[in-house]
Amino acid sequence: MSRVTKKIGLSLGADICWPGAYEAIVRDLNLELALGGQTVDFAVERVTVEPYDLQQPCSYAVVLDRLTHWFHTSREWIKKAVIMDGLHVLNNPWAVQSMEKQTSYAAMMKLGLPVPRTWMAPPKEHDAVATPDVGPTLDRYARLFDLGEVGRNLGYPLFMKPYDGGAWVGVTRIDNEAELKAAYEQSGRRVMHLQEAIEPFDLFVRTIGIGPQVEIVRYDPGAALHDRYKVDFFFVDGDEWSLLTDQMLTINGFFGWEFNSCESLRRGGVFHPIDFANACPDFQVTSLHYHWPNMVKKMVRWSLFCAASGHVNPPTLDWTPYFAVAKRDLPYRERLAAYADITRERMQADAFAEFCETHLAHLDEVALRFFRSDACKALIQQKVQALFPAHEVEKFTEHFWGLIRFWGKTEEDRINGGAPAAPTPDARADEPPGGLL
């Protein structure tokens, strides 16, 4: 049989830890797959930034992209390669570039997800120098409005947040009209959302989707960054796990995102998605810690499947099937399941599960060996050195290494039958999966 090498490109910014782990695991898997009359192997390469000919062929089967949301040079190269060469990239670069949180809220409201009530407020200030037409536009069409009335309509507390996201701006909790007006005065030229607070809530979760795989983690946004993803087990029941999985797949499938996260608050048994346009989610050991190995394994599975199978998501978005379901008179849970089934079909979830079972049965063993290695600890130290002051490097290196070692113990127990089996990549279970949700 002829031999074909499928190249996977890593389009990276400041990432340190996960690319090293990903590269090592793919190498150690030592894959040579008999597919379609060919022997298929894999190579991983980091994508460089340099001038390019728009007609220059792209040699990658898949690109794992971490730059589209902010670095225009790499984004435009990726878009060119999708158009010219049919490149498969995580995620759809046009959707990432154009879909602000505003759009994602409106779309999921349209599908009937329990998104909190949200208003958009015009910016407090405008740049008349950069945009000279803004003056005549506002003189002719801007209407005076009572911000306090908007606050009373939503009720307090509420949250003010940028319509386009951005952790660098932050989210402000507002408890009364005086705080609302003060926050608006300080918002400058930023366009802001005002959103109903889901309070009181009894659970905050973050779901992370990679292809048809979903990880569910208890989350504490008020904790330090390195402690927000909690190490907790069985904090949702089987029905809730299934619902959160279908919710994540609905969002990702609708927007053409294969690597995205969603924050949800549970109040009165209902999970309200509050933030889900995060199509370049955190992938660092310094925040994911215990959960980091599972996420790296999910990325290995999905990217190898896409490269080997030639799976390519359409470059354009088709919302028609989702809207057709929305028009049907279905109970919410059935409607959400129908949305998720559209996504599973688009992501070839059944073929993906078969690929993993047939070709990646040894991934658990290979990954466990790597995450217990000195090479893994060295990557952790490099990431810590990049983020923490010198006097804290040793302390936090040992902290994160200890959590990875704990993951290794629980993973070994799972593999050896000490805990119920983890879900298959496309599972929708009636019972929660074993181990960490």
Q: How do residues 331-350 score in pLDDT, each as one tens digit? A: 999 999 999 999 999 999 99
User: Does residue 437 surpass a pLDDT of 70?
Assistant: no
**Cα distance from N-terminal residue to C-terminal residue, the chain:** 42
User: Does residue 49 surpass a pLDDT of 70?
Assistant: yes
CATH ID of 2-98, from 3.40.1350, 3.40.50, 3.30.160, 2.130.10: 3.40.50
- Give the three-class secondary structure for 29: helix
Report residue 104 as tokens: 């994602």
CA separation for the pair 397, 44 (Å, rounded)? 27
pLDDT at residue 166, rounded to an integer: 60
Contact partners, residue 409, CB within 8 Å, separation at least 6? none
Q: What percent of the chain has pLDDT over 90?
A: 84
Write phi, then psi, for 120 (nearest 5 degrees). -110, 135
E strand or H helix at 304, and its extent? helix 292-309
Residue 433's pLDDT band, with cuts at 50, 70 and 90, is very low
Q: For the residues 62-84, what does the mean pLDDT come to?
A: 95
Which single residue is written with the structure tokens 């154009």? 98
Domain ranges in the chain? 2-98, 117-196, 203-415
| Distances 395 to 15, 43, 85, 152, 289 between C-alpha atoms, Å | 21, 35, 47, 48, 14
Looking at every residue in the chain, the average pLDDT score rounds to 92
Least confident of 86-95, 218-227, 411-420, 422-431: 422-431
CATH ID of 117-196, from 3.50.50.60, 3.30.1490.20, 3.30.1380.10, 3.30.70.260: 3.30.1490.20
